[in-house]
C-alpha cells in the first residue's frame, strides 16, 4: 500500500516553518536550499498542469485523424473520383493487322476500332498453325474454302505457288483486291443447307459406290455431297494444302460445310500427300464429316477450333476410313 501522507509531514514542515537558528555556514547555504525547494515545488505544479494539456492535445489529434479518414472515404469524394477521367492507353494486338479491317481517319485516334463483321475469325494460335504450315510447304498449291482477311497473308506467303479462294459471299469477293497472278478468288454456289447434314451423311453411307473417294470421278459423281461446279483448275491440280472454312454454316438454313469437307477429302487422295485443315470443329457438322471422310487416324493435331489432317494420296481407295466411324452419331440428333 502507498505510505500515508502524514508520515512525510513532520519531515517537510521543519524545513519550511520551524527551522532552528542556523549557523553562519548554514545561513550562507540557505538561499541555495530555498531556491532548490522552490524549484522542485514549481516543477511539481508544472507536471500536474501538463498532464491534462497533453491529454487534450492527444484527444484533438485523434479526433482530427478520424475526421480525415471519414473525409477521404466519403461518398462525395467517391462521386468526384467517378467523374475523374482515367488515363488512356492504346494497345494493339499482335494480330490486329490481319484479324480486323479498321477505318482510320485523321483525328480519330480516340475512337474505338470497329472490326469488319465476320462470322468466323481465326485466333492468333489458330492462324499460327496455318502460317507455319504454309511457311513449311511454300511454294505449294493452296486451296481455301471460304475467305477471311487473314488468308491474304497466307496467299502472300505462297506468292511463288498457287492459291485459290472459293467463297459464296459476293460482298466479300467484291471488296478483295488481289495483286498477284498466282492468286484467284471464285464465287461458289452451295445448295446444301446445314440442316440437311445428317440426311446427306446417311446418303453417303448407304451409297458407298456413288460416294467412292476417287478424284477421277468427282466431276461426274452421283454422290449428293460432291461439289461439281468448281473451276476446272480445282479438279486438275494436286493440292498440297487445303483449308475448309466455308461456307458459313452458322445456322440451320445457311449453307453447310458438308460438301466442302467431302470434296476436300476426295481431292486430298489425288496427290502424294495433302494437308487438310478444318476450322470450327466445335460444331457438329464439321466434327461429324471430318471423322467420316478425313478419318481420325489421319489427324495430326488440333489447336483451338482447328483440326489438321495429313492424307496420303491413293486413287485406288474404295472407302475413306479403314474402320467405320461415327456409327453412333445418329442418336445425338
Q: How many degrees, rounded to 5, is the angle at CA 182 between CA 175 and CA 179?
A: 40
pLDDT band at 332 (very low <50, low <70, confident <90, very high): very low
Give the domain-ending residue among 74, 106, 136.
74
pLDDT for res 2: 47
Residues of the chain above pLDDT 70, percent: 65
The mean pLDDT of 103-129, rounded to a whole number, is 54
Question: Distance (Å, rounded) from C-alpha 138 to C-alpha 124?
Answer: 20
Identify whether the C-beta of residue 230 lies closer than 8 Å to the C-beta of residue 246: no
Grid cell in block for residue 194: 446445314
If asked whether residues 69 and 211 sit together in one domain, one would say no
pLDDT for res 314: 76
Residues 6+ apart with CB under 8 A from 5: none
Whether the per-residue pLDDT at 276 is higher than 50: the answer is yes
Would residue 15 count as lying in a domain? no
Helix axes 197-206, 258-267, angle to 10 degrees: 40
**3-state SS class at 111:** coil
pLDDT for res 207: 95
Would residue 107 count as lying in a domain? no
Would residue 284 count as lying in a domain? yes
Give the domain-ending residue among 39, 74, 109.
74
Would residue 59 count as lying in a domain? yes
Prior bond to 247 cis, omega within 30?
yes
**3-state SS class at 71:** helix
CATH number of the domain encompassing residue 129: 3.40.50
Would residue 303 count as lying in a domain? yes
Whether the per-residue pLDDT at 125 is higher than 80: the answer is yes
Would residue 114 count as lying in a domain? no
The mean pLDDT of 34-50, rounded to a whole number, is 56
Grid cell in block for residue 81: 473520383
What's the DSSP call for residue 140?
A: -
pLDDT for res 105: 28
Q: What is the mean pLDDT of the chain?
A: 75
If asked whether residues 46 and 154 sit together in one domain, one would say no
If asked whether residues 128 and 273 sit together in one domain, one would say yes
**3-state SS class at 21:** coil
Give the domain-ending residue among 49, 74, 99.
74
If asked whether residues 130 and 59 sit together in one domain, one would say no
If asked whether residues 65 and 140 sit together in one domain, one would say no
Phi–psi pair at 284, nearest 5 degrees: -65, -45
Would residue 54 count as lying in a domain? yes
Buried b / exposed e over 166-199, threshold 16 CB at 10 Å, is bbbbeebeeeeeeeeeebebeebebebbbebbbe
Question: Distance (Å, rounded) from C-alpha 33 to C-alpha 162?
Answer: 117
The string of pLDDT tens digits covering residues 93-107 is 333 323 322 222 233
If asked whether residues 312 and 200 sit together in one domain, one would say yes
The string of pLDDT tens digits covering residues 245-259 is 999 999 999 999 999
If asked whether residues 324 and 220 sit together in one domain, one would say yes
Which run of H or of E encompasses 260? helix 258-267
Question: Distance (Å, rounded) from C-alpha 55 to C-alpha 58?
Answer: 5
If asked whether residues 166 and 241 sit together in one domain, one would say yes
Question: Distance (Å, rounded) from C-alpha 243 to C-alpha 106?
Answer: 38
pLDDT for res 15: 43
The string of pLDDT tens digits covering residues 150-208 is 999 999 999 999 999 999 998 888 887 776 779 999 999 999 999 999 999 999 999 99
If asked whether residues 67 and 201 sit together in one domain, one would say no
Residues of the chain above pLDDT 90, percent: 50
The residue that leads in pLDDT, 6 or 63, is 63
Phi–psi pair at 28, nearest 5 degrees: -65, -35
The string of pLDDT tens digits covering residues 133-157 is 999 999 999 999 999 889 999 999 9
pLDDT for res 152: 92
Number of domains observed in the structure of the chain:
2
Would residue 219 count as lying in a domain? yes
Q: Domain containing 42: what range?
A: 25-74
Amino acid at each position: 500500500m502507498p505510505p500515508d501522507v502524514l508520515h512525510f509531514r513532520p519531515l517537510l514542515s521543519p524545513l519550511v516553518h520551524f527551522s532552528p537558528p542556523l549557523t553562519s555556514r548554514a545561513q550562507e547555504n540557505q538561499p541555495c536550499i530555498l531556491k532548490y525547494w522552490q524549484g522542485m515545488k514549481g516543477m511539481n505544479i508544472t507536471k500536474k498542469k501538463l498532464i491534462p494539456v497533453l491529454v487534450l492535445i492527444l484527444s484533438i489529434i485523434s479526433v482530427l485523424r478520424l475526421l480525415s479518414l471519414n473525409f477521404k472515404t466519403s461518398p462525395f469524394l467517391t462521386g468526384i473520383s467517378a467523374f475523374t477521367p482515367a488515363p488512356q492507353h492504346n494497345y494493339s494486338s499482335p494480330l490486329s493487322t490481319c484479324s480486323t479491317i479498321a477505318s482510320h481517319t485523321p483525328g480519330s485516334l480516340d475512337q474505338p476500332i470497329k472490326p469488319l463483321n465476320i462470322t468466323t475469325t481465326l485466333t492468333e494460335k489458330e492462324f499460327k498453325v496455318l502460317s507455319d504450315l504454309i511457311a513449311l510447304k511454300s511454294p505449294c498449291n493452296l486451296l481455301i474454302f471460304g475467305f477471311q482477311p487473314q488468308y491474304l497473308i497466307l496467299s502472300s506467303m505462297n506468292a511463288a505457288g498457287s492459291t485459290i479462294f472459293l467463297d459464296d459471299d459476293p460482298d466479300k469477293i467484291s471488296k478483295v483486291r488481289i495483286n498477284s497472278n498466282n492468286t484467284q478468288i471464285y464465287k461458289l454456289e452451295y445448295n446444301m443447307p446445314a440442316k440437311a447434314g445428317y440426311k446427306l451423311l446417311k446418303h453417303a453411307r448407304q451409297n458407298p459406290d456413288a460416294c467412292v473417294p476417287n478424284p477421277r470421278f468427282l466431276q461426274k459423281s452421283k454422290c449428293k455431297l460432291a461439289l461439281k461446279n468448281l473451276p476446272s483448275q480445282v479438279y486438275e491440280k494436286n493440292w498440297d494444302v487445303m483449308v475448309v472454312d466455308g461456307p458459313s454454316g452458322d445456322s440451320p438454313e445457311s449453307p453447310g460445310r458438308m460438301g466442302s469437307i467431302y470434296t476436300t477429302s476426295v481431292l486430298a487422295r489425288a496427290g502424294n500427300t495433302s494437308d487438310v485443315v478444318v476450322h470450327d470443329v466445335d460444331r457438329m457438322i464439321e466434327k461429324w464429316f471430318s471423322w467420316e471422310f478425313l478419318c481420325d487416324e489421319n489427324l495430326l493435331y488440333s489447336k483451338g477450333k482447328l483440326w489438321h489432317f495429313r492424307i496420303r494420296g491413293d486413287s485406288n481407295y474404295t472407302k475413306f476410313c479403314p474402320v467405320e466411324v461415327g456409327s453412333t452419331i445418329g442418336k445425338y440428333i
